Amino acid sequence: MELQLQLRKQQGDFALELDLKVSGERIGIFGPSGSGKSTLVNLLAGLARPDAGQILLDGQPLFDSSNRINLLPHRRRIALVFQQHGLFPHLTVRKNLLYGYQRCPAAERRIELAEVAEVLEITDLMGQMPDTLSGGQSQRVALGRAILASPRLLLMDEPLSALDDDLRYRIIPYLNLVSERFRIPFVFISHSLVEMRLMADQVAVLEKGQLAGVVAPEELARQRMGQSASGYINLLELGMPEEQEGLLAFPWAGQELLLSGGAGTEPGTFELSSRDIILCKRHPDAISARNLLPCMVRSLFESGKKTGIELDCNGSSLVAEVVPAAAQELQITPGSTVWAAIKASAFRRL
Ligand SMILES: Nc1ncnc2c1ncn2[C@@H]1O[C@H](COP(=O)(O)OP(=O)(O)OP(=O)(O)O)[C@@H](O)[C@H]1O
């Protein structure tokens, strides 16, 4: 998918002025509150009209003020999914799903109900009413309804923010699977850098109605490390654990990581903040942290008032952060070796 826009939209005191070209199947829109993200979604969907400019989707104009083109929302073939699932309360799950399907002209239908239900694991819910569904089930049905309209683009305005963490991370694989299996590109808004890294190939960053840049999500996470309250979040894929001295030993990068008991006994993805990694130049003789990993420094980067340090732990990457003075004192330079100390309680399962 290629999305190209050059537009202006005034809303009261706020002006959105964008000149943007992004391509990819999974595009994120990131920015602080009030930066214009929802306004952009409304303009793309045709729910609001730019004052002037052009919006092209795969080269086709959805809006072009100089040629007086402004396709109606349903002619854009863009499906919307919002934070609140918006299911019809008086219709069963099946009828909610078929709503999207029946609205799509027969000749353009390329996605079938049974297949969508199978991918989203909602086949068993078909006869239920929306008020009997959990938040995650409702959001999967809303997604199914949007997909069954066989859209050219799925547009999602904070689709996961109404869900608790546990559900949010269970829905993300479905979104990725849907985009891949049905070849539907998506554009989504989120405040979460972790969501961006799990779901986007490219991120358009908005600030005060302007485009601040288009970057890879990993790059964005590093740029924001110093400003973010939680630092840079390392995402670690850990294998099947074994019990060890009252803790759980998870395989990772050819070694073991010890985690506290609450980590669960399945393999999975875990978060580890860059702030929870302590670096030591030499092997500390006595330390309470349960994990002590020998690492090589790959690179250093600056972010806000912090220095990020990308470590190579047996071939796997880990990002730690220190204040610049600590990096100098410890003489941390690319190629040098350090020990990374991590408490067993610092990991959080996604
Ligand atoms: N109908 C409107 N009339 C006047 N101003 C509006 C209108 N709708 C939005 N705005 C203003 O436009 C700006 C951008 O709003 P928008 O909802 O696009 O931001 P956002 O980045 O999506 O924010 P959030 O993350 O909080 O949802 C805000 O300053 C908002 O107050």
Q: Among candidates 198, 205, 185, which has minimal Cα distance to 37? A: 205
Lowest mean pLDDT among 6-20, 22-36, 97-111, 286-300: 97-111
Does the pLDDT value for residue 151 go beyond 80? yes
Direct distance between the N- and C-terminal alpha carbons of the chain, in angstroms, rounded to an integer: 29
Pocket flag, ligand 1, residue 161 (CB < 6 Å): no
Pocket flag, ligand 1, residue 209 (CB < 6 Å): no
Dist CA 319 CA 297 (whole Å): 10
Tell me, in angstroms, the distance from the centre of ligand 1 to residue 41's CA. 11
Band of pLDDT at residue 235, cut at 50, 70 and 90: very high
Q: For residue range 168-193, what is the model confidence (pLDDT) as tens digits?
A: 888 888 889 888 988 999 999 998 99
Query: For the chain, what is the mean pLDDT?
Result: 93
Architecture of domain 233-349: Beta Barrel (2.40)
Given this model, what pLDDT does residue 58 score?
96
Given this model, what pLDDT does residue 100 score?
81
Tell me, in angstroms, the distance from the centre of ligand 1 to residue 36's CA. 6
Given this model, what pLDDT does residue 101 score?
87
Q: Does domain 2-223 have CATH number 1.10.3720.10?
A: no
Domain ranges in the chain with CATH number 3.40.50.300: 2-223
- Using CA atoms, how far residue 292 sits from 12, 286, 323, 340, in Å, is 55, 11, 21, 6
Q: Which residues contact 111 (CB under 8 A, 6 or more apart)?
A: 147, 148, 150, 182
Map residue 313 onto helix, strand or coil.
strand
Does the pLDDT value for residue 167 go beyond 80? no
Looking at 57-190, list the stretches that DSSP marks H as alpha helix, in order from N- to C-terminal side: 73-76, 93-103, 113-120, 135-147, 165-181
Residue 306 burial class via C-beta count within 10 angstroms: exposed 0-12, middle 13-18, buried 19 and up = buried
Choose the residue to mutate in 39, 47, 161, 191 for probing ligand 1, maximizing ligand atoms within 8 Å of C-beta: 39
Q: Which residues contact 194 (CB under 8 A, 6 or more apart)?
A: 233, 235, 271, 350
Given this model, what pLDDT does residue 63 score?
98
Looking at the chain, list the stretches that DSSP marks H as alpha helix, in order from N- to C-terminal side: 37-45, 73-76, 93-103, 113-120, 135-147, 165-181, 193-199, 217-224, 324-329
Pocket flag, ligand 1, residue 38 (CB < 6 Å): yes
Percent with pLDDT over 90 in the chain:
74
Domain ranges in the chain with CATH number 2.40.50.100: 233-349
pTM (two decimals): 0.90
Closest C-alpha residue for ligand 1 atom 1: 11
Does the pLDDT value for residue 25 go beyond 90? yes
Percent with pLDDT over 70 in the chain:
100
